[in-house]
Amino acid sequence: MYWNIFLPVFVIILRNIFPISLLLAIIFACFQRIEHSGYFRQIYLGISGGIVASILVGSVISQGINNIDSTNNNAWIFTPLILNIFVFIAISLLIWFILWFSQQANFWQNLGSTNELLMGKNLRLTIFSLALFLVLIKGINIFLLLNVMPENNSTYVNLAVIASLLLTALMTLAFVYLQTRLTNNVFFRIVGIFLILVTGGLIIDSLYNLDESLLFINELDTTANWCLFEQNSCLLGSILWSSHEILPEDKFPLILMKIVFGYHDIVYIIPLVIYLLFVFIVGKFYFQNLKNLS
């Protein structure tokens, strides 16, 4: 087997699909725990809409790039900028869901039901949007990456896609099974920690991707200055430390940390500060709402 074809595609698909699949499984489990399975329909519709939107948006971006003069190979730098808009929307919706769910869990645990006022008449649209953008931000990535691969019609690429989808499905089903074995108290706390850390990872990834895009734009157009800093990065500040030699992000097992929690072997000061503030503020609010859980 041509592992140099199979493995990169396998990792790309797994890296993009698994965190989102797990997040969606958690959202399903959350609504199941607070006895509001009626919202499953919005999640299914959001997933379907995200898949369709990924194909449409990916096709538009791909076609636009193909129409650009072949000498302008740096046209791809604008794609991450577009994707970051969707990522920031998804992050905002995830933060809202984390805070909203902690309130719902508190009402459900202490009163035996959720607070209908907290549900809100716009909740169905918000849940639909959350599922849609979670699928969209990774679906476009997958579409574009596979579209530019020279072997994108090969048997090995197809096998890699199938294998990554099967592994994602198995790991997601394993989570669904394991969460049913947890008490409500443990479930709400573990899910909260996971949601906060994964969302923090998305924030880190989006900042790194945005910085990389701006660096390329500066190289392409020397008359424009999109950077706040002149060394190492555009937006991320100075390097605090680099563990690339001893803890590389692209090697097992740390690649799993990168896939799920946004691990990077080069740490910049601004993303680190933003990450720590996010974890502290959102985590404090979440667990304050759960402090009365028994």
DSSP characters for the chain?
--HHHHHHHHHHHHHHHHHHHHHHHHHHHHHHHTT-GGGHHHHHHHHHHHHHHHHHHHHHHHHHHHTS-TT-GGGGGHHHHHHHHHHHHHHHHHHHHHHHHHHHHHHHHHHSS--HHHH-TTHHHHHHHHHHHHHHHHHHHHHHHHHT-TTTTSHHHHHHHHHHHHHHHHHHHHHHHHHTTS-HHHHHHHHHHHHHHHHHHHHHHHHHHHHHHHHHHHHH-TT----S-SSS-SSS-SEEEE-TTTS-TTSTTHHHHHHHH---SEEEHHHHHHHHHHHHHHHHHHHHHTTT--
Is 144 in contact with 79 (CB distance < 8 Å)?
yes
Q: What is the pLDDT of residue 288?
A: 84
d(CA 69, CA 173): 46
Q: What is the pLDDT of residue 148?
A: 61
Q: What is the pLDDT of residue 157?
A: 76
d(CA 141, CA 261): 18
Instruction: Record the tokens describing residue 137, joined without a space.
Output: 């931000």
What contacts 83, CB < 8 A, 6 or more positions away? Answer: 137, 140, 141, 209
pLDDT tens across the length of the chain (294 residues) = 566 667 777 877 777 788 888 888 888 888 887 777 778 888 899 999 999 998 888 887 777 666 654 545 555 556 667 777 778 888 888 888 888 877 776 665 554 444 444 455 577 888 898 889 888 888 887 777 776 665 555 677 778 888 888 888 888 888 878 887 888 778 888 888 888 998 898 899 888 888 887 887 777 766 667 777 777 788 888 888 888 888 887 777 777 788 778 888 889 999 999 999 999 999 998 888 777 555
Q: What is the pLDDT of residue 186?
A: 82
Q: What is the pLDDT of residue 90?
A: 83
pTM for this structure? 0.78
Q: What is the pLDDT of residue 277?
A: 95
